[in-house]
Amino acid sequence: MERMSIVIPVYNRAQVVQRTLASVLAQTFRPVQVVLVDNCSTDSTLHVLNDFKARYSACDFEVIVTQEEQHTAGAARNRGFTEAGGDWVMFFDSDDEMHPRLVERYMSKLKGNDIVAVKARLHKADGSYSNLAFATRDILANQIIHSILGTQRYCVRSKFVAQAGLWDDSLASWNDWELGVRMLLKHPKMAFIDDTLVTINESGKDSITGTGFGPKHGQWEQVIDQVEREIAESHVTDRDRYLRLLDYKRVVLAAHYSREGHDDWAQALYSQAMARLGSKWLTRAVVPMLYGRIKRGKRGSGQIARIII
């Protein structure tokens, strides 16, 4: 039987990580391995993780606690991966929750595949929920626009993600988006679970990845530029289309800058992206409209962009 490892990096989450750990403990499938990575926490997180291990580690529920000194989510996840012994691996965040049957459902889809993706929902700070984008077709385009292979939303064959290069620990932002693109460029065999089995809780200021766009100005652009190089150097079909979708990604980022009041950054990035998107009349007509919609907080622009670009 193939084995699943769950890797969870944790940073200053002593007060909330128990919720995540409880959802892991509630998994109906056994055996499972859990790798908990303390990532430079300054609170009692490490104590909480060690206590969980002492209470619940068993022959069919192995718990490993380790530490990573480089304070990036990618470094912590890579550290956890080196400790993981499963044929498959799930990466999960320390304030999110998995449905009790998540691992069980994953295990039923593994045969013949490299990645299994699942639906997820966002639990907002105001208590409301929204479903996150999910797609079973045009996967690379949907990854570029929607990051459908977000950290918590798939499991992957360990050998496959290792061959893809694991997490880029130099990236402080959108590292899951970049890894998702990089894996898709290797043409994985994929399966999909059309049920919402993951709840992503809105992060606070102490998360490893942080919140907001303005505080990380320049880092987002760095990731887009890196993904652009990866796609440009690949042999993927419709490469030029995916490169145009990256320019749309820049338009989206510019709109978020504008919403946060960073109009100078927004205008510079928007102008750069529009200059690169080409002269196709439909694109030139519709993308400015989408930019305005995103600035106003409207949803659904990504699906329109995927069709016209």
Q: How far apart are the first and last CA of the chain?
A: 44
At 106-122, the pLDDT tens digits run 999 999 999 999 999 99
CA neighbours closer than 13 Å in the CB half-sphere of residue 162:
13
At residue 66, the pLDDT reads 98
Name every residue whose Cβ is closer than 8 Å to that of residue 289 and which is 6 or more positions away in sequence.
none
User: Has residue 204 got a pLDDT over 60?
Assistant: no
Lowest mean pLDDT across 71-80, 210-219, 257-266, 290-299: 210-219
Q: How far apart are CA 191 and CA 189, in angstroms?
A: 7
User: Has residue 254 got a pLDDT over 80?
Assistant: yes
At 135-179, the pLDDT tens digits run 999 999 999 999 999 999 999 999 999 999 999 999 989 999 999
User: Has residue 309 got a pLDDT over 90?
Assistant: no
User: Has residue 249 got a pLDDT over 90?
Assistant: yes
Q: Please state the pTM of the whole predicted model.
A: 0.93
Mean pLDDT across the chain, nearest whole number? Answer: 95
Which element (helix H / strand E) includes 6?
A: strand 4-10
User: Has residue 242 got a pLDDT over 90?
Assistant: yes
Buried b or exposed e, range 217-231, using 16+ CB within 10 angstroms: eeebbbbbebbbeeb
Domains in the chain: boundaries: 4-201, 214-308
| CATH (residue range 4-201) | 3.90.550.10
At residue 274, the pLDDT reads 95
